[in-house]
């Protein structure tokens, strides 16, 4: 049976992913899949279309092997030329920062939220070197659009009363897409290992040979495997963060919960919130075991968030955008 199709201007919510595993997870959360929609000339993106809650969403992924802030900005620019996107989400995986204050574990979700002097995302590798070899980050990035921040606040209140639906949506995802079950499920507590920040990973293989005495002794795991949701600053940059000492220093200076590689290219031009599932601890002990599950938890949170975003406000933003464009032409 042919998939339903809708006009290009009906797609007001845009979702951008960096990796195919992230895009697959987002597509698996769609309440309804849509057929292909024509895009404008010169737009090189390949899109997927569908509905989440009351919203028609358009999904794009960065080109294979081309990561970073510039690539993300290019994808977002073309998406906004082709579609009437007024709010967006960057959904995928990132490296978490554990601390005694914030117990971030693999599979948890970190959501960008303004905190301190930052709008929720900071470009950690952009700044200038000052006297005494002190690196000072410069500039600030825009906050997410107000409708998304309002939805986040409403969802946080709901979670306090009823808990999150992320695990429910994850189970539904795997039930509808059984081929995903092996990779996109929780990877087991025995594989969630955090090592001391000054202990570097020896060799190229997994952590089976790592010194267990150098693991950080954390409180026992929670009563279940359900991911927790954390809100705060996300550090973004064109370099992969895989050094525990550098991670901890920047995290202390800027109150960072997560490191990733694309969001800084979006915040000033693409009105979005960033949702990251934690797949590693942003240190030299990285491996890819947790990436599918982390992508899935991020996608399921994004679905839950869109369920509470008011479609009328999104439409009003589109009307406001159209009026501004007319005024600019005049």
Instruction: Tell me the domains of the chain and their CATH numbers.
Output: 91-313 (3.40.50)
Stronger pLDDT, 224 or 75, i.e. the higher one: 75
Each residue's pLDDT tens digit, 212-262: 889 998 887 777 889 999 999 999 988 889 999 999 999 998 899 999 999
Chain mean pLDDT for the chain: 88
* Whole-number pLDDT of residue 145: 85
How large a percentage of the chain has pLDDT more than 90? 66
Whole-angstrom Cα distance, residue 88 to residue 273? 7
Whole-angstrom Cα distance, residue 263 to residue 270? 10
Does pLDDT of 45 surpass 80? yes
Task: Assign 139 a pLDDT band (cuts: 50, 70, 90).
Answer: low
Does pLDDT of 76 surpass 70? yes
What are the tokens at 52? 């989440």
Lowest mean pLDDT segment, chosen from 148-152, 200-204, 238-242 = 200-204
Query: What is the b/e burial string over 166-205, where b = at least 16 CB atoms within 10 angstroms of the residue's CB?
Result: bbebbeebbeeeeebeebbbbbeeeebbbbebebbbeeee
Ramachandran sector of residue 163 (left: φ over 0; alpha: ψ -120 to 50; beta: rest): left
Task: Assign 133 a pLDDT band (cuts: 50, 70, 90).
Answer: very low
* Whole-number pLDDT of residue 137: 53
Does pLDDT of 119 surpass 60? yes
* Whole-number pLDDT of residue 205: 73
Across the range 191-216, mean pLDDT stands at: 85
* Whole-number pLDDT of residue 321: 55
How large a percentage of the chain has pLDDT more than 70? 90
Closest alpha carbon to 111 in 61, 155, 71, 51:
155
Does pLDDT of 5 surpass 70? yes
Closest alpha carbon to 231 in 121, 72, 141, 309:
121
Lowest mean pLDDT segment, chosen from 148-162, 198-212, 243-257 = 198-212
Whole-angstrom Cα distance, residue 150 to residue 156? 10
* Whole-number pLDDT of residue 222: 75
* Whole-number pLDDT of residue 36: 95
Stronger pLDDT, 304 or 119, i.e. the higher one: 304
Lowest mean pLDDT segment, chosen from 6-15, 122-131, 139-148, 193-202 = 122-131
What are the tokens at 213? 């005495």
Whole-angstrom Cα distance, residue 246 to residue 248? 5
Across the range 283-295, mean pLDDT stands at: 94
Stronger pLDDT, 204 or 191, i.e. the higher one: 191
Which residue is associated with the tokens 């209140």? 157
* Whole-number pLDDT of residue 209: 81
Whole-angstrom Cα distance, residue 241 to residue 261? 9
Model pTM score = 0.91
* Whole-number pLDDT of residue 318: 61
* Whole-number pLDDT of residue 327: 37
């Amino acid at each position: 049976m042919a998939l339903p199709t809708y006009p290009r201007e009906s797609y007001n919510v845009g979702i951008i992913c960096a990796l195919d595993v992230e895009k697959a997870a987002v597509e698996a959360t769609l309440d309804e899949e849509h057929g292909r929609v024509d895009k404008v000339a010169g737009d090189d993106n390949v899109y997927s279309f569908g509905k989440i809650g009351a919203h028609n969403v358009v999904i794009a992924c960065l080109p294979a092997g081309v990561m970073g802030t510039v690539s993300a900005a290019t994808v977002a620019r073309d998406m906004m030329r082709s579609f009437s996107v007024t709010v967006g989400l960057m959904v995928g995986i990132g490296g978490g920062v554990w601390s005694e204050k914030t117990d971030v574990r693999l599979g948890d979700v970190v959501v960008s939220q303004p905190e301190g002097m930052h709008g929720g995302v900071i470009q950690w590798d952009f700044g200038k070197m000052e006297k005494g070899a002190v690196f000072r980050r410069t500039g600030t990035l825009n906050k997410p659009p107000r409708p998304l921040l309002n939805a986040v606040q409403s969802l946080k209140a709901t979670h306090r009363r009823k808990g999150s639906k992320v695990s429910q949506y994850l189970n539904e995802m795997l039930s509808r897409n059984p081929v995903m079950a092996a990779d996109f499920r929780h990877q087991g507590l025995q594989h969630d290992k955090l090592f001391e920040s000054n202990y570097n990973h020896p060799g190229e293989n997994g952590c089976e040979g790592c010194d267990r005495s150098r693991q950080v002794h954390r409180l026992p795991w929670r009563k279940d495997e359900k991911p927790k949701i954390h809100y705060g600053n996300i550090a973004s940059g064109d370099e992969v963060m895989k050094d525990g000492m550098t991670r901890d220093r920047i995290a202390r200076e800027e109150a960072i919960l997560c490191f990733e590689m694309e969001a800084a290219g979006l915040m000033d031009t693409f009105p979005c919130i960033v949702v990251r599932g934690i797949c590693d601890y942003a240190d030299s002990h990285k491996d890819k075991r947790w990436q599918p599950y982390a992508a899935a938890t991020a996608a399921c949170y994004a679905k839950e968030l869109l369920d509470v975003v008011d479609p009328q406000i999104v439409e009003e933003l589109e009307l406001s955008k159209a009026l501004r464009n007319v005024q600019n032409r005049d």
